Every structure is written in structure tokens, then in C-alpha cells.
Structure 1
Amino acid sequence: MTLIDKLRERIKQKGLSRTFGTLWKRYVFFHWELLWMERDLFSPVPPHKLRPYAGVRQVTITPENATAFARHFGDRVQTMAELAAEGHTGHMYLDEDGHAVAFIWGSTRDYHDRHYYGCNFPVRPGEFFEFGGEMTRAYFGSSLSVDVQVNLWEAMAAQECYKVVDVCETHNIPALKLHIRMGYHEQGRVTHVYGLFGRWRFFRETRYTGSRLEPLRKPGRPVVTSAAQA
């Protein structure tokens, strides 16, 4: 299939405007807003109605066992091995056949994300930066999304951390809602990532007041007050 044929097929599937928007962001210009959030490691997670799951086990990621990502995250094998070699704390969850179906990472030092965003995320003493959380579609809507975080929090608390900080793209509504469900609080700052012509990236940080998550909060959902803010 030629490039023109592929483009025609994509336009047929996605529509002209969506196809043009995707190409514009990939090859001309994009702007991502990364919302900073935080949470203490000791306050309980609010109740949820996520469905249960079974048949997975947690394993610490190492350079040697990163091959477990080959089936579901084939393009990440080298990245996972590199992150483990750099000393970051990574957990993966294996199915009964030994294939990774979910993973998450934590860093106790300033984290330079050379694999995706391209910017540096500073980490203060006592904090850790949580990043890279992902799972296969089969586990969407399951309580695994909660357990992967809580288990990492416990591991980082054992490293004398008391707070988790992370960023979330403002257009990723499911992830923002997950942060609400987990009891995160907004820091009131945004890291902006700009991409130009698929080659250059620029960064800046802005501040805001109020809440950008409030419109996503379900009526009656309790607001969890972290021990760190009490």
C-alpha cells in the first residue's frame, strides 16, 4: 500500500478534519499541558466500584526481565531495560503466561524524560516522581489501576518517601478522573511542552489558581484531605 493509499484509508476511517489535525500535530506543531498533582502516601484511597481482576503477579523490573514486555508493549522493551538500569523503581504485572500486562515507575531524584516528553521533572527530598503507568485494554476499568499505584507507594514509602508527585496531560480525561478517584490534589502549576516540525521541543511552566479538575468530579464525591496538607 502506497503512502497515498494509506492516507486515503485513514481519511476514510477518521475523517478529513481528524486526519489533518493528527498530521498537523505530528509534523508541524503541538502543545501539551501537563498538570502537576500530588498526594501523601498514607491517606486511604477513597472507595471505588472498579471490577476485580485475577491471575496477575507483581515483579520488580530489571534489565534482564524487561523482555516480558515484548508481547503487549513490544516497542518498550529497550526503554524498560534502560529505566531499570538507571536505578528507578519499576513494577510490572505478569499474566499467567509471564507477559507484562501493566507497569508503573517511580523516581526519587530529578527525572529527565528523554523517551517521551523530553523535559526534566524536578523531585524534592521526601517526594518521588511517579511516571509511565500503563496497562493493557483487558484491565481497563479494573481495580488493578488502583493496586499498581498503592503497591508502588508502599515500596517508595520504604525508601523514606512521604509524597508522590506526577503530571497528567490535560486532554487525557480518563487519567485525570483516575487521579480524582485516587485522592490526588492539584499543585496549581502546569508544564507546557511545545513541538515544532517534529524536531524541536520547547518548555515553560505556568501557575494557576482554583481547580481544573473540579468540572470532572462526580457530584457527591468526597474530597480527600492529605495528611501532608493538614
Structure 2
Amino acid sequence: MNVIDKLRSRIKQKGLGRTFKTLWERYVFFHWELLWMERDLVTPVAPHKLRPYSGLRMVSITPENAKAFGKHFGDRVETMAELAAEGHTGQMYLDANDHAVAFIWGSKRDYHDSHYYGCWFPVKPGEFFEFGGEMTRAYFGTSLSVDAQINIWNAMAAQGCDKVVDVCETHNIPALKLHIRMGYHEQGRVTHVYGLFGRWRFFRETQYTGSRLDPLRKPGRPVVADAARA
């Protein structure tokens, strides 16, 4: 399929507006806002009504077993092996055929995300930075999203941590709602990631007061703006 055919197919699937937006962000300019959140590791998670799941086993990720990502996350095999080799704590969930269907990571030290955002995420003593949580579509809406986080919390608590911190893209509404369900609290700061012409990236941090999650709890409430928002 040539470039024109691919473009026509994308427009047919997503519409002209969404296709143009995707191309603009990929090749011209994008601006992501990463909302910082935190949570202690001892407060129980509130009851939920997520669907149960079965038939999975949790395994620590190593450079040697990263090949398990081949079927569902084929483009991540090398990344998973690199993260494990760097000493980060990773957990994956394998199905009956030993294919990874979900994973999550934690880092006790400052984390440089060279694989996606391209910036540094500082980690204070006693904290760990949680990142990379993902699962296949078959497990969307199941309690695996809760269990995976609780299991990584327990693993990092055993390493001396008492707080988890992470960031979430403000346009990722399902992920923000998951943070609310899991009992995270906003830190009142945002890391901004800017991309220009698909080549250069720039970063800055702003502060805000109030809550940017309230509109997801009670529809109709205004979103609090950053103090120096672009």
C-alpha cells in the first residue's frame, strides 16, 4: 500500500479532522501535559465493580524473559529488556501460553524516559516512580488494573518505599479516572512536553492550585488552569 492509499484508509477510518490532527502533532507540533500525582502505599483501595479475570501469573521482568512481550507488544521487547537491565523493577502478567498481556514498572531513582517522553522524572528518597503500566484490550475493565498497581506497590514497599508518584497525560481520561479510583492525590504541578517538527522536544514545569480531577468526579465543575500555562 503506497502513501496515498494509506492516507485515504486513515481518513476513512478516523475522519479528516482526526487524521489532520494526528499528522499535525506527529510532524509539526504537539503539547502534552503530564499531571503529577502521588499516593501512600498503605491506605486500602476503595471497593470497585471491575470485572474479575483469571488464568494469569505475575513474573518479574528480566532481560532474558522480555521475549514474552513479542506477541502483544512486539515493538517493546527491546525496551523491556533495556529497562530490566537498567535495574528498574518490572512485573508482567503472562497468560497460559506465556505471552505477556500486561506490565508495569517502578523506579527508586530519578528516571529518564528515553523511550517515549524524553525527559527526566525526579524521585525523592522514600518514593518510587511508577510508569509504563499497560495491558491488552481483552483485560480493559477488569480488576487487573487494580491488582497490577497493588502488586508493584508491595514490591516497592519491600524495597523501603512508602510513596508512589507518577504522571498522567491530561487528555487520557480513562487513566485519570483510574487514578481517582486508586486514591491518588494531585501534587499541583504539571510537566509540559513540547514536540516540534517530529525532531525537537522541550520541557517545562508549572504549578496550579485546586484540582484538575474534580470535573471527572462531578461533571460541570471548571478545570483549574495552570499558573503559567501555554
Taking structure 2 as the reference length, the TM-score comes to 0.94
Whichever residue aligns with residue 37 of structure 2, its letter is M
Q: Deviation string for 1:170-203 (max 9, x for gaps)?
A: 0000000000000000000000000000000000
Letter in 1 for 2:66: A
Q: Give 1:89's aligned residue.
A: 89
Matches for 1:14-33 after TM superposition, within 5 Å: 14-33=14-33
Whole-angstrom distance in 2 between the partners of 1:218 and 1:135: 28
- Using the size of structure 1 for normalisation, the TM-score is 0.94
How many angstroms apart in 2 are the aligned matches of 1:150 and 1:218? 26
Aligned ranges for residues 1-230 of structure 1 at < 5 Å? 1-217=1-217
Kindly provide the amino acid, as one letter, of the partner of residue 93 in structure 2: Y
**Identity of counterpart residues, as a percentage?**
84
Partner secondary structure for residue 33 of structure 2: strand
Task: Measure the CA separation in 2 of the matches of 1:137 and 1:31.
Answer: 26
Find the aligned partners of 1:184 and 1:103 in 2 and give their Cα distance: 20
Structure 2 residues without counterparts, runs of 5 or longer: 220-230
Number of equivalences: 219
Letter in 2 for 1:105: W
* Matching residue's letter, 2:217: R
Equivalent AA in structure 1 for residue 208 of structure 2: Y
Alpha-carbon shift at residue 97 of structure 1 (Å): 0.5
The AA in structure 2 aligned to 1:186 is E
**Shift of residue 218, structure 1, vs aligned partner:** 5.7
RMSD, aligned CA: 0.8
Give me the whole-angstrom Cα distance separating, in 2, the residues matched to 1:6 and 1:139: 30
Instruction: Tell me the CA shift for residue 135 of structure 1.
Output: 0.3
Q: In structure 2, the residue corresponding to 1:125 is in which secondary structure? A: coil
Q: One-letter code of the match for 2:82?
A: E
CA distance in 2, matches of 1:2, 1:59: 41
Deviation of the 1:14 alpha carbon: 1.4
Q: Deviations over 1:96-129 (max 9, x none)?
A: 1100000000000000000000000000000000
Give 1:10's aligned amino acid.
Answer: R
Q: Which amino acid in the other structure matches residue 192 of structure 1?
A: H
Stretch of structure 1 that moved more, 135-144 or 14-23: 14-23
Cα distance, 1:5 vs structure 2? 1.4
1:155 alignment partner, SS class: helix
The 3-state SS of whatever aligns with 1:105 is strand
- 3-state DSSP of counterpart to 1:167: strand
CA distance in 2, matches of 1:218, 1:41: 26
Q: Deviations over 1:24-68 (max 9, x none)?
A: 000000000000000000000011000100000000000000000
Runs of 4 or more above 2 Å deviation: none
For residue 208 of structure 1, report the CA deviation from its aligned partner: 0.2
Q: 1:13 to 1:150 in 2, by over 3 A?
A: same
Q: Structure 1: any 5+ residue segments left out of the alignment?
A: 220-230
Q: Could you say which residue in structure 2 is the equivalent of 1:226? A: none
Alpha-carbon distance between aligned partners in 2 of 1:155 and 1:23, rounded to the nearest angstrom: 40
One-letter code aligned to 1:98: D
Rounded Cα–Cα distance in structure 2 between residues aligned with 1:55 and 1:85: 28
